[in-house]
Amino acid sequence: MPEPQALPITQDSSTLLRITHVIYGLLGLGLLLGWFPAVIGVILNYVKLESVKGTWLESHFRWQIRTFWWGLLWAVIGIITYLIVVGWIILIADGIWILYRVIKGWLNLNEKKPMPGASTPFPT
Protein backbone atom coordinates (compact mmCIF):
# COMPACT_ATOMS: atom_id res chain seq x y z
CA MET A 1 0.00 0.00 0.00
CA PRO A 2 1.38 3.44 -0.89
CA GLU A 3 2.46 5.83 1.85
CA PRO A 4 -0.34 8.27 2.88
CA GLN A 5 0.09 11.68 1.33
CA ALA A 6 0.28 14.90 3.29
CA LEU A 7 -2.94 16.85 3.13
CA PRO A 8 -2.28 20.24 1.52
CA ILE A 9 -3.45 23.15 3.63
CA THR A 10 -6.62 24.30 1.93
CA GLN A 11 -10.09 25.31 3.00
CA ASP A 12 -11.24 21.75 2.25
CA SER A 13 -8.43 20.11 4.26
CA SER A 14 -9.19 22.37 7.21
CA THR A 15 -12.81 21.24 7.02
CA LEU A 16 -11.81 17.57 6.81
CA LEU A 17 -9.53 17.96 9.83
CA ARG A 18 -12.37 19.59 11.77
CA ILE A 19 -14.78 16.81 10.74
CA THR A 20 -12.28 14.21 11.97
CA HIS A 21 -12.14 15.99 15.35
CA VAL A 22 -15.95 16.10 15.49
CA ILE A 23 -16.18 12.37 14.76
CA TYR A 24 -13.80 11.54 17.63
CA GLY A 25 -16.01 13.72 19.84
CA LEU A 26 -19.13 11.89 18.68
CA LEU A 27 -17.53 8.50 19.39
CA GLY A 28 -16.62 9.71 22.89
CA LEU A 29 -20.12 11.11 23.46
CA GLY A 30 -21.50 7.73 22.44
CA LEU A 31 -20.01 6.34 25.64
CA LEU A 32 -21.93 8.88 27.73
CA LEU A 33 -25.18 9.31 25.81
CA GLY A 34 -25.71 5.95 24.14
CA TRP A 35 -24.93 4.93 20.58
CA PHE A 36 -26.82 7.72 18.76
CA PRO A 37 -23.88 10.20 18.58
CA ALA A 38 -21.52 7.42 17.48
CA VAL A 39 -23.96 6.41 14.71
CA ILE A 40 -23.92 10.01 13.44
CA GLY A 41 -20.11 9.89 13.55
CA VAL A 42 -19.82 6.68 11.53
CA ILE A 43 -22.29 8.02 8.96
CA LEU A 44 -20.03 11.09 8.59
CA ASN A 45 -17.07 8.71 8.19
CA TYR A 46 -18.69 6.91 5.29
CA VAL A 47 -19.97 10.11 3.64
CA LYS A 48 -16.54 11.81 3.74
CA LEU A 49 -14.34 8.73 3.20
CA GLU A 50 -13.77 9.46 -0.50
CA SER A 51 -12.61 12.99 0.37
CA VAL A 52 -9.73 11.69 2.51
CA LYS A 53 -8.65 8.78 0.24
CA GLY A 54 -4.86 8.69 -0.08
CA THR A 55 -4.21 11.15 2.76
CA TRP A 56 -3.09 10.57 6.33
CA LEU A 57 -6.64 11.36 7.47
CA GLU A 58 -7.86 8.19 5.75
CA SER A 59 -6.11 6.16 8.47
CA HIS A 60 -8.09 8.09 11.11
CA PHE A 61 -11.34 7.44 9.28
CA ARG A 62 -10.55 3.71 9.07
CA TRP A 63 -9.63 3.74 12.81
CA GLN A 64 -12.93 5.45 13.67
CA ILE A 65 -14.99 3.10 11.50
CA ARG A 66 -13.38 0.02 13.04
CA THR A 67 -13.79 1.46 16.53
CA PHE A 68 -17.51 1.91 15.91
CA TRP A 69 -18.19 -1.54 14.40
CA TRP A 70 -16.08 -3.57 16.82
CA GLY A 71 -17.42 -1.53 19.75
CA LEU A 72 -20.98 -2.17 18.59
CA LEU A 73 -20.33 -5.89 18.17
CA TRP A 74 -18.95 -6.22 21.72
CA ALA A 75 -21.78 -4.06 23.11
CA VAL A 76 -24.36 -6.39 21.55
CA ILE A 77 -22.54 -9.43 22.96
CA GLY A 78 -22.39 -7.71 26.36
CA ILE A 79 -26.11 -6.88 26.29
CA ILE A 80 -27.03 -10.43 25.29
CA THR A 81 -24.99 -11.84 28.18
CA TYR A 82 -25.88 -9.06 30.63
CA LEU A 83 -27.98 -11.23 32.91
CA ILE A 84 -24.97 -13.38 33.60
CA VAL A 85 -21.97 -11.61 35.09
CA VAL A 86 -19.83 -11.98 31.97
CA GLY A 87 -21.98 -9.39 30.15
CA TRP A 88 -21.09 -6.71 32.68
CA ILE A 89 -17.40 -7.45 32.22
CA ILE A 90 -17.73 -7.33 28.43
CA LEU A 91 -19.57 -3.98 28.54
CA ILE A 92 -17.00 -2.43 30.90
CA ALA A 93 -14.10 -3.73 28.79
CA ASP A 94 -15.78 -2.46 25.61
CA GLY A 95 -16.22 1.01 27.10
CA ILE A 96 -12.58 1.13 28.19
CA TRP A 97 -11.43 -0.08 24.76
CA ILE A 98 -13.51 2.55 22.93
CA LEU A 99 -12.24 5.28 25.27
CA TYR A 100 -8.65 4.15 24.64
CA ARG A 101 -9.14 4.27 20.85
CA VAL A 102 -10.78 7.70 20.96
CA ILE A 103 -7.97 9.12 23.11
CA LYS A 104 -5.19 7.49 21.06
CA GLY A 105 -6.77 8.63 17.79
CA TRP A 106 -7.36 12.17 19.01
CA LEU A 107 -3.78 12.47 20.28
CA ASN A 108 -2.39 11.30 16.92
CA LEU A 109 -4.76 13.66 15.09
CA ASN A 110 -3.56 16.62 17.19
CA GLU A 111 0.03 15.68 16.29
CA LYS A 112 -1.02 15.31 12.63
CA LYS A 113 0.15 11.68 12.58
CA PRO A 114 -1.65 8.83 10.79
CA MET A 115 -2.98 5.91 12.77
CA PRO A 116 -0.81 2.81 12.62
CA GLY A 117 -2.41 -0.34 11.25
CA ALA A 118 -5.58 1.40 10.10
CA SER A 119 -5.01 0.92 6.38
CA THR A 120 -7.57 -1.81 5.74
CA PRO A 121 -11.28 -1.16 6.12
CA PHE A 122 -13.79 -3.00 8.30
CA PRO A 123 -16.29 -3.11 6.69
CA THR A 124 -16.50 -1.14 3.44
* Sequence ranges of the domains in the chain: 11-110
Calculate mean pLDDT across residues 71-77. Answer: 96
Q: What is the pLDDT of residues 80-108, one digit of tens each?
A: 999 898 999 999 999 999 999 999 999 99
pLDDT band for position 115 (cuts 50, 70, 90): very high
pLDDT of 123 reads 43
Q: Mean pLDDT score of the chain, rounded to an integer?
A: 87
CB-based contact 51:10 (threshold 8 Å): no
Q: Is 55 helix (H, G, I), strand (E, B) or coil?
A: strand
pLDDT of 4 reads 53
Would you tell me how many other CB atoms lie within 10 Å of the CB of residue 37? 17
Q: What is the pLDDT of residues 11-20, one digit of tens each?
A: 467 889 999 9
pLDDT band for position 116 (cuts 50, 70, 90): confident
Report whether pLDDT(118) > 70.
no
Look at the chain and count its residues: 124
